[in-house]
Structure 1
Amino acid sequence: MIPLQTAPPSIGTTISMFVGLALVGGLLGAIGSAVVRQLKNPVGKYRLLYAAVLFPYALLAYGVFSLTGFGTAVLTALPSTPELVTRVLAEFVTFLATGCVWIVSYLPTVRGIRDVRDVELDTRTSIRKMTRYVIGLSALLTVVLAPLQVVSIESSPLILAVGLLALVLGMLYAAPWLIAVLRSTSTPTGDTADRVHSLSDRAGLSVRDVRILDSENEQTADTLVRGPPTYRRLFVTSTFLDAFDDDTATALLAIEAGQLRTHVFEIKVGTVLVAGIALVASLIGTGPRWPLLALSFGAVLIGFWLARRQIRAADEYAAQRVGRTAVADALAEYADVHALEPTRRRIPNPLSIKVALGDRINRLRTSGGA
């Protein structure tokens, strides 16, 4: 987060670097989209493309921008400002540039998603929503990371780790309000509010309030619960309410309730946090390299295994609530709405944080699944 290069590049070099990274990102998105469309279960492969190729590339772009002092170079044209203000603004510019690289990488995939899912996914609307998200997230990350601008990684690794942990926890607890800022939401009223509350009660999902996410463009039928135990907020997409009948929606919300009870999200975040801190510490030499690498790898294996175990436990909770067949049918309907093919694995993948959807359905349909 703090540039290691004391002399930032010239503005010409900075622009060339940004354009080059953006062009490579766009090329990766275009090639990846062309390949994915030819594969089996393309919707699932698009999700893999985003998670395993385009997002890591965006992180790489952020690393390049940060290490070369991209933000500082862009700000050279501005009047002189206090050093701390300059560093904070430079961080915002760096995050914003990274977001632009992500948007350019994402753009070539919009048409492919529209074709394989057969939905009216408007490119301009998608880019407009993504731009709003990138600007908001860049500002948010800059604000929460500003205190770390005065901390040296080499001199205070423990303080940095504790600071990162506190910031992550703070963002998780503030998620109910942050999501509402970053995405278009509305408060359900009338019959819609009554229906959502009735479905939540049947599913055993206890939340403080509900917000509806606008998904008319993307046609994604999803739910999300975020916030501290004393303030859980349910986010449900408009497509979720339109696409599923009450029985299917109740079963899917019961799975959400089960994952809250089994702390699936917290396990995932904790795993990534522990593994990431150990990995960074090993790379910058603040401790014994190989033990730290072993700790990072071990945290991934144990955390991912525990996450998969708790996902199955959440399915069992939902099955006890509404019935095994109802939950299995709901997962199958969810896959059908999103044009997903429920995949199965003969041998569990130790590096997967999820359980294959087909395996979850099969396990629920098997009487001895518990």
Structure 2
Amino acid sequence: MALSALTAPILAVAVVALVSFASIRLYAWRAAKDPPKTAMRRIRTALAVGLSLTGLVALFALVLADALDLTESALGALSPALADSAVGAVLTWVPTFLGVTVAVVAGYLGAYPYVREIRGLDVSAASAAGSVAKLLGAAFALLVVVVGTLNLLPAGALDTALPVVGVLAALGVVLSALQPRILGLLNDVREPTDEERDRIVGLCETAGVSPHRVGVLRLDANSVATVVFAGLPGRRHLLVTEDLLADLDDDAAAAVLASKAGRAKYYYRETKFGVVMAVSALIIAVLTGELQRATHLGSGPLALAILVLAVALPWFGRRLVFAADDYAVERVGAETYVETLETLADEYQVSYESGRLRTLVLMRPSLGRRLDRLWGRTDE
């Protein structure tokens, strides 16, 4: 492949990466002048919006620069059989994905010095960049699995919503079952020492949970004291971060565990998945015309109804967060639980307030609303 043919894709990635880095660096520099919690809230929002836009712009720029055609031609010259296979279709996208990854990582590094300073992280920029690239790689692999599975459906199956949603739901269940292994591939997960295991058992008794297995999770680039319940209900694995064991006393650690246990008890994660599937099914049904034929309504009224449903259903998810808080209060007491939430918010510079859109999308109330509600129970 001639060097001149590679110039356009390389230049496209370089320009998008530079613009993303510079714009996010400037915004983070200005945000860092605010109080720490406000600064981190603004920077997190900027990263969520800015990196999403960076990825999309980089993708379109690479497509316009003929990156896919160049890769396909190279594969065809190397092996025509490979180029025409399903593996070849995946490989065709790899250089484009790498370009998108470079641009997104560059944007993240624009804000990282200020994130590290505000949070007091002792993690190099290279390690942080590697963690972001790893997450993007996992997202690309998931996309390949989803698209590949949909391509296995019989001809015409994609013309209706039910097969598509059914396949996506089945994939969600499979990925949930494999979540402990996936986390093990993406992070350093080890068996707890005897001392750690004894402590974890005590914390589980306080929180009222009996996990299928336990492990210790190391998060180098995003140090945080938390726990993760991975896997399907009934066979959940409990992963405890090293930071929780090292930085929190038993009362605070039990409060964190009880909070996550409450969400698992009320199937908070599964509810969010169900909401996404329900709204997605309706959107697909509108796009295929099924819902119009079934209801004899136009696309406009149906779109409005879906929008109302998309706003109403997350409300139920937020109620589950309140229920999980109540469960944690029952296990460790209101005062201990509130103090733990406030301490962690101060440690990780988490703002008590969050925008309405963020609250809606994440299907959970702001920390401030949760604390206001819990303060009324501290005297019980």
TM-score bin, normalised by smaller chain = 0.7 to 0.9
Instruction: Tell me, in whole angstroms, the C-alpha distance in 2 between the residues paired with 1:284 and 1:20.
Output: 38
Q: 1:196 aligns with which of 197, 200, 205?
A: 200
Instruction: Tell me, in whole angstroms, the C-alpha distance in 2 between the residues paired with 1:243 and 1:28.
Output: 35
Instruction: Tell me, in whole angstroms, the C-alpha distance in 2 between the residues paired with 1:278 and 1:25.
Output: 35
Over 3 Å counting, the alpha-carbon distance change for 1:220 and 1:349 in structure 2 is closer
Q: Helix, strand or coil for the counterpart of 1:174? A: helix
Unaligned runs of 5+ residues in structure 1 are: 1-9
Name whichever of 305-314 and 197-206 sits farther off.
197-206
2:134 aligned partner:
132
Shift of 1:224: 1.5
Q: Which has the higher helix share?
A: 2
Instruction: Tell me, in whole angstroms, the C-alpha distance in 2 between the residues paired with 1:93 and 1:150.
Output: 24
Name whichever of 73-82 and 273-282 sits farther off.
273-282
Query: Given the two structures, how large is their TM-score scaled by the length of structure 1?
Result: 0.84
Tell me the number of residue pairs that the alignment of Structure 1 and Structure 2 aligns: 360
Tell me if the contact between 1:275 and 1:295 (Cα under 8 Å) persists in the aligned partners: no
Over 3 Å counting, the alpha-carbon distance change for 1:201 and 1:56 in structure 2 is farther
1:75 aligns with 2:72: yes
Matched AA of 1:363 = R
Shift of 1:164: 2.4
1:46 aligned partner:
43
Over 3 Å counting, the alpha-carbon distance change for 1:155 and 1:262 in structure 2 is closer
Shift of 1:212: 1.9
1:4 aligned partner:
none
Tell me if the contact between 1:99 and 1:134 (Cα under 8 Å) persists in the aligned partners: yes
Over 3 Å counting, the alpha-carbon distance change for 1:368 and 1:134 in structure 2 is closer
Instruction: Tell me, in whole angstroms, the C-alpha distance in 1 between the residues paired with 2:156 and 2:26.
Output: 37
Tell me if the contact between 2:16 and 2:57 (Cα under 8 Å) persists in the aligned partners: no
Shift of 1:85: 2.6
2:29 aligned partner:
34
Name whichever of 293-302 and 248-257 sits farther off.
293-302
Query: Given the two structures, how large is their TM-score scaled by the length of structure 2?
Result: 0.82
Instruction: Tell me, in whole angstroms, the C-alpha distance in 1 between the residues paired with 2:29 and 2:212.
Output: 43
1:358 aligns with 2:368: yes
Shift of 1:30: 1.9
Instruction: Tell me, in whole angstroms, the C-alpha distance in 1 between the residues paired with 2:285 and 2:62.
Output: 21
Over 3 Å counting, the alpha-carbon distance change for 1:62 and 1:353 in structure 2 is farther
Unaligned runs of 5+ residues in structure 2 are: 293-298
Name whichever of 37-46 and 358-367 sits farther off.
37-46
Q: Identity percentage over the alignment?
A: 25
1:99-147 C-alpha deviation (Å, 9 max, x unpaired): 3332122111210101111222311221223333433443344244322
1:204-239 C-alpha deviation (Å, 9 max, x unpaired): 122111222223443322221121113201222211
Tell me if the contact between 2:214 and 2:239 (Cα under 8 Å) persists in the aligned partners: yes
Instruction: Tell me, in whole angstroms, the C-alpha distance in 2 between the residues paired with 1:31 and 1:284.
Output: 44
Instruction: Tell me, in whole angstroms, the C-alpha distance in 2 between the residues paired with 1:12 and 1:353.
Output: 44
CA RMSD of aligned residues (A): 3.3
Q: Helix, strand or coil for the counterpart of 2:228? A: strand
Name whichever of 122-131 and 141-150 sits farther off.
141-150
Name whichever of 133-142 and 221-230 sits farther off.
133-142
Q: 1:147 aligns with which of 149, 157, 178?
A: 149
Shift of 1:362: 2.2
Over 3 Å counting, the alpha-carbon distance change for 1:118 and 1:190 in structure 2 is same
Over 3 Å counting, the alpha-carbon distance change for 1:100 and 1:318 in structure 2 is same
Tell me if the contact between 1:154 and 1:286 (Cα under 8 Å) persists in the aligned partners: no
Tell me if the contact between 1:214 and 1:237 (Cα under 8 Å) persists in the aligned partners: yes
2:352 aligned partner:
342
Over 3 Å counting, the alpha-carbon distance change for 1:168 and 1:237 in structure 2 is same
Matched AA of 1:111 = P
Matched AA of 1:302 = A
2:159 aligned partner:
156
1:248 aligned partner:
252
Matched AA of 2:335 = T
1:121 aligned partner:
123
Name whichever of 185-194 and 52-61 sits farther off.
52-61
Instruction: Tell me, in whole angstroms, the C-alpha distance in 1 between the residues paired with 2:204 and 2:350.
Output: 25
Q: 2:86 aligns with which of 84, 108, 123?
A: 84
Shift of 1:268: 2.0
Shift of 1:51: 2.9
2:18 aligned partner:
23
Name whichever of 182-191 and 96-105 sits farther off.
96-105
1:152-174 C-alpha deviation (Å, 9 max, x unpaired): 89953433333223222321221
1:339-366 C-alpha deviation (Å, 9 max, x unpaired): 23433899x9656622121221221120
Instruction: Tell me, in whole angstroms, the C-alpha distance in 1 between the residues paired with 2:64 and 2:286.
Output: 18
Name whichever of 257-266 and 295-304 sits farther off.
295-304
